[in-house]
Amino acid sequence: MLAVLKAEDLGRIYESGLIFKKRHVALQGISLEMEAGKTLGLMGVSGSGKTTLGKILAGLERPSCGKVFFAGKDLRSMSGREYAAFRRAVQMVFQDPEGSLNPQKSIEQSIHEVLELLKIPGREWQDRTEEMLDMVGLSEELLCRYPSQISGGQCQRVALGRVLLLRPQAIILDEPTSALDISVQAQILNLLKYLQRDLGLAFLLISHQPEVIRFMAHDTIILEGGRTSII
């Protein structure tokens, strides 16, 4: 099966210092494939390059070397239109659920922001919002509240729902449940599994918790100092 996302020999070097340049190799020689309906687990201690890799795969950061392919096509040889389609199809969800929502906007405003961006006609907003809330298991009562007025688990559901409005094919989940209580973690992981089955999503699940990876991942890679380590 054609991989949704494929990375070939990725590297990322950060440079610092004005005169005496210091080079820090954050990633080196990383190759991987993400398939529809499958979860690739990504483990590694803090600083091993997990977030950097996730951002490169989501197009939020550029690699220093190596290639990323979306639906078989090298990102660097894409037209503007193709690249825009890739950026929409591959989304990233971060650890801090409250921080990923605008504190000044009600949940409804946060959702409408995405619908506006997608140029969805206003008459469809209510249906699209209801459909999305249903998908992530939230009730409409939440719409008038602000991120600080709902729980961490509910914030993460809203963050996921906003991403789902874009109808993505792949989601990079960067420690999506690490900030949540154990019981809420389990609920969110089950929701992710359900969404994956229902929508055929490809996940890259970044976690430092082996039990989370065991529960979710079909395959796993471990990063050590920016390199893949053999299990």
Positions that interact with ligand ADP (CB under 6 A): 14, 24, 26, 44, 46-52
Instruction: Give strand pairing partners of 203.
Output: 39, 171
- Nearest to ligand ADP of 44, 161 (CB atom): 44
Give the nearest distance from C-beta 42 to ligand ADP in angstroms. Answer: 9
CA geometry: angle 187, 48, 63, nearest 5 deg: 100
Which of Mg ion, ligand ADP, none binds 26 (CB below 5-8 Å, type-dependent)?
ligand ADP
Which of 51, 129, 156, 207 forms a contact with Mg ion (CB under 5 A)?
Answer: 51
Question: Which burial class, exposed, middle or buried, applies to 141 when counting CB atoms under 10 A from its CB (0-12, 13-18, 19+)?
Answer: exposed
Q: Would you give the DSSP letter of residue 214?
A: H
- Nearest to ligand ADP of 57, 158 (CB atom): 57
Q: Hey, which residues between 61 and 80 contact Mg ion (CB under 5 A)?
A: none
- Nearest to Mg ion of 133, 159 (CB atom): 159
The region of 1-9, 43-51, 140-148, 185-193 touching Mg ion under the rule CB under 5 A is 43-51
Give the nearest distance from C-beta 46 to Mg ion in angstroms. Answer: 7
Which of ligand ADP, Mg ion, none binds 41 (CB below 5-8 Å, type-dependent)?
none
Q: Hey, which residues between 91 and 120 contact Mg ion (CB under 5 A)?
A: none
> How many Å apart are CA 57 and CA 51, to the nearest integer?
10
- Give DSSP secondary structure letters for 13-80: EEEE-SSS-EEEEEEEEEEEEE-TT-EEEEE--TTSSHHHHHHHHTTSS--SEEEEEETTEEGGG--H
- Nearest to ligand ADP of 47, 99 (CB atom): 47
- Nearest to ligand ADP of 100, 169 (CB atom): 100
Q: Looking at beta carbons, which residue is closest to Mg ion?
A: 51
**Which tokens go with 21?**
């340049």
Which of ligand ADP, Mg ion, none binds 75 (CB below 5-8 Å, type-dependent)?
none
Using DSSP's 3-state secondary structure scheme, residue 91 falls into strand
Of 33, 37, 44, 35, the residue nearest 207 (C-alpha):
44
**Chain residues that interact with Mg ion, rule: CB under 5 A:** 50-51
